[in-house]
A and B are shown apart, each in its own frame.
Chain A
C-alpha cells in the first residue's frame, strides 16, 4: 500500500504477557517514529529511527519497552511484562528523513489499540 500500515489494529492481552506491534513504513522513508497516545491525550514520543544511525530511545518509558527496525524498513515495538497502564494506542509514523523541510513531514499509520486486562 501507499501509506504506513500497522498490525494488529487491536490487541487485547493479559497483564504480564509480552506483546509485539508491527509497523510498515512508506517505501523509501528512512525515518520511523513510534508514539503512544493514551485515551483523550496527545502523542507521547517513544523512539525514533533514522537510517543506519543509532535510534533515539529517549522517550521509552521503561526498560520493558524496546524496538527494532530490520533492514531499514519494518519496525517492531515490543512491550515485555505488560501492565495495565500500558493500555493505549501506539502510533507509528515515517518520513523521508535526511534533513530538510519536506523530509521531516511525518505520515502516520492508523495505530494499534492495546488493551491490557
Chain B
C-alpha cells in the first residue's frame, strides 16, 4: 500500500531558529495535509495543499506541494517553545481514507 516517509525523525533546535521538514511518497498524491500533535492531544490540522506547486502559509508556517506530487515540505519560521510536538503529513490512500507519515518530533530549546 501507499506509504509516507518523513524526515528528519526528530530535531532539536534553539528558540528563534527556522525549521524545515519534509514528507515523501513512492506514489503520486493529489492532496497533502500537515498536522501537529501536542502531547496527550489528538492531531490538529495545520495546512492543507491541493495543487502541485502550491505554496500555502498559516502564520509562521509555510507548506509546499512538490511539483512531482510525491513530496511536500513544511517550514516553521522563528520557532517558539509552543511549536514543540509531533508533525505528521498525510495524504489520501484511496477513496476518502488517509495514510499518515511516521511524524517528525520537534523539540525547541530555550
Interface majority SS on B: helix, strand, loop or mixed? loop
B97 engages A106 (CB within 8 Å): no
Knowing A91-B42, A111-B42 are in contact, say whether A104-B96 is a contact too (CB < 8 A): yes
Residues of chain A touching chain B, judged by Cβ–Cβ distance below 8 Å, are 4, 31, 33, 35, 40-43, 45, 48, 50, 56, 91, 93, 95, 97, 99, 101-102, 104-111
B43 engages A108 (CB within 8 Å): yes
Chain B 11-36 interface 0/1 with A at a Cβ cutoff of 8 Å (1 = within): 00000000000000000000101010
Interface range on chain B (Cβ under 8 Å from partner) = 20 to 34
Knowing A43-B43, A110-B42 are in contact, say whether A105-B33 is a contact too (CB < 8 A): yes
A4 engages B96 (CB within 8 Å): no
Residues of chain B touching chain A, judged by Cβ–Cβ distance below 8 Å, are 31, 33, 35, 40-45, 48, 50, 88, 92-93, 95-103, 105
A107 nearest CB neighbor, chain B only: B45
